[in-house]
Amino acid sequence: MSATNRFYAARLAGTAVFDPIGDPVGKVRDVVVVPRARAARAVGLVVEVPGKRRVFLPITRVTAISGGQVISSGVLNVRRFEKRNVEQLVIGDLLDRVVTFVDGTGEATVEDVGLDLDRYGEWEISKLHVRRRRTGSSLSKLVGGRGETLTVSPHAVTGLFGTQAEQSAALLLASYEDLKPADLGEIFQEIDAKRRVELAGELSDDRLADVLEELPEDTRVEVVTNLEASRAADVLEVMDPDDAADLVQELPENVAQRLLGLMEPEEAEDVRRLLAYDEYTAGGMMTTEPLIVSPETPVAHCLAMISREELSPALASTIHVCRSPLETPTGRMLGIIHFQHLLRERPDRPVGEIVDSDRHVIAPSAMLSEVTREMATYNLVSIPVCDEEGRLLGSVTVDDVLDHVLPEDWREQDEPVTTTGQIDLSEIARAMSSRPRKG
């Protein structure tokens, strides 16, 4: 992932940031962190681009920190960076802060902050480079100097994130950190509208996007319409295109068009493409970002792709092998490979040699009943969506299907939806064949 497992914020300041093809895009000016109960994790970098404009680079788009440079993936969002209440700037807020040693040996001033890459792929504050503050005694003034410097764990001091009241507020928010999005979604539904908006304002874009997918339609529309427009657009950008399209479809027309206009053009284009299809068709349900590789790609690279934590199991189950271009709509799709097949092959073998050309595909106009029948018949967890020329447009996964076949108010039910046995998609397909189209 990254060429180094630790960096110090003050030393990183001024480091050049490059895009994937090696062009410089700006310089690092700060590191944005969010306090948690046990530590604080980095959520992004503040990057100064030409014109002295400071923008936000999500840490998830940083692919390497090494050799005096930062490599990013994708295009920088050029909207000016604005710090949220829960966020702290390492250089702007934490450096020069006076902290107190928990062992009672005095105070120190923070001079640098080290962040380590943990096993979950997150950057967390792990080290503090501090300088002890001199006492007021005559002897200390005589031997003086600037005080002893040492490196300590953040747990060895208090006061790093402000006053006790400020820390309590940060820890309160941190108490939600380990909750799954579905559980946090339940909390959203239990609190009043004002608190919902406040909590949404404190969550990161990625976290809020996950929670919105777990909320009933009226609740998530309420949350999004109460966000600042620029923030709402940022959240839509980090959502999967199919989920973003579902949400945009629920918003008032004027709000939807404004948010689409504020999104990055490429992200907005994916959403608009999905909005062109009926909600209960393969085109309306598909994600436009399945895993796609060229036939020359080695097996090892594909295994690395499917191991990414942010991928759902259904989406990670299948690799699509296509001719260039490798973004939807692609060149002609040659076939698919399931992850279990990849595990049985040599890591250096090109996937073009093992691709399963006997694949099942579906047209974007196929209705939900046809999609469910096809997936049930062949026991599929995902199915490619291709146009008449055989180009891959996207992929429908089993979770997309379930979202559309369950009752619309299933998230609001007091008891979970249960079945007497295993879910039978073929029965769902038969039931759905007579289901009226929405709208």
- Across residues 289-297, what is the average pLDDT? 94
- The pLDDT value recorded for residue 224 is 94
Give the pLDDT mean for 127-154.
72
Res 75 pLDDT > 80:
no
CB 385 within 8 A of CB 364: yes
In terms of pLDDT, which residue wins out, 371 or 80? 371
The predicted structure's pLDDT at residue 161: 81
Backbone angles phi, psi at 393, to 5 degrees: -100, -30
C-alpha 62/C-alpha 19 separation (Å) is 10
pLDDT at 399: 85
User: For a pLDDT cut of 90, what percent of the chain falls above it?
Assistant: 47
pLDDT at 145: 52
Q: Which CATH superfamily includes the segment(s) 181-276? A: MgtE N-terminal domain-like (1.25.60.10)
- What is the CATH number assigned to the segment(s) 278-439? 3.10.580.10
Higher-confidence residue of 426 and 16: namely: 16
* Rounded (10°) angle between helices 265-275 and 229-238: 70
**pLDDT value at residue 367:** 94
* pTM of structure: 0.55
pLDDT tens, 156-211? Answer: 998 888 654 444 444 445 556 667 888 788 778 777 787 788 788 878 888 899 99
Contact 33, 87 (CB under 8 A): yes
**315 Cα distance to chain centroid:** 15
Residue ranges of alpha helices (H) inside 151-240 are 164-174, 181-190, 193-202, 205-212, 217-225, 229-238
Helix, strand, or coil (residue 111): strand
Instruction: Find the mean pLDDT for residues 414-436.
Output: 44
- Is cis: bond before 347, omega within 30 of 0? no
Q: Are 55 and 76 in contact (CB under 8 A)?
A: yes
**What is the rounded (10 degree) CA torsion for 19, 206, 317, 361?**
-80
pLDDT at 139: 42
pLDDT at 294 over 50: yes
Q: What is the pLDDT of residue 140?
A: 45
Task: Answer yes or no: are the C-beta atoms of 241 and 252 closer than 8 Å.
Answer: no
pLDDT of 223 higher than 80: yes
286 vs 368: CA distance, rounded Å: 11
116's CB contacts (< 8 A; 6+ apart) are 5, 6, 123, 124, 126, 127
What does the pLDDT read at residue 348?
95
6-86 has which CATH code? 2.30.30.240
The predicted model gives 403-412 an average pLDDT of 64
Within 10 angstroms of residue 276's Cβ, the number of other Cβ atoms is: 10
Of the CA atoms within 13 Å of residue 135, those in its CB half-sphere come to: 6
Each as own residue / partner, the long-range contacts of residues 46-53 (CB below 8 Å, 24 or more positions apart, any chain) are 46/81, 46/89, 47/17, 47/76, 49/25, 49/76, 49/78, 50/26, 53/78, 53/80
Q: What is the pLDDT of residues 333-390, one digit of tens each?
A: 999 999 999 999 999 999 999 998 777 899 999 999 999 999 988 889 999 999 999 9
The proportion of the chain whose per-residue pLDDT surpasses 70, expressed as a percent, equals 85
HSE (side-chain half, CA atoms, 13 Å) at 145:
6
pLDDT at 266: 86
Residue 329 gets which letter from DSSP? S
- In whole angstroms, what is the distance from residue 203 CA to residue 187 CA? 13
Using the structure block, give the residue that is written with the tokens 């040693």. 101
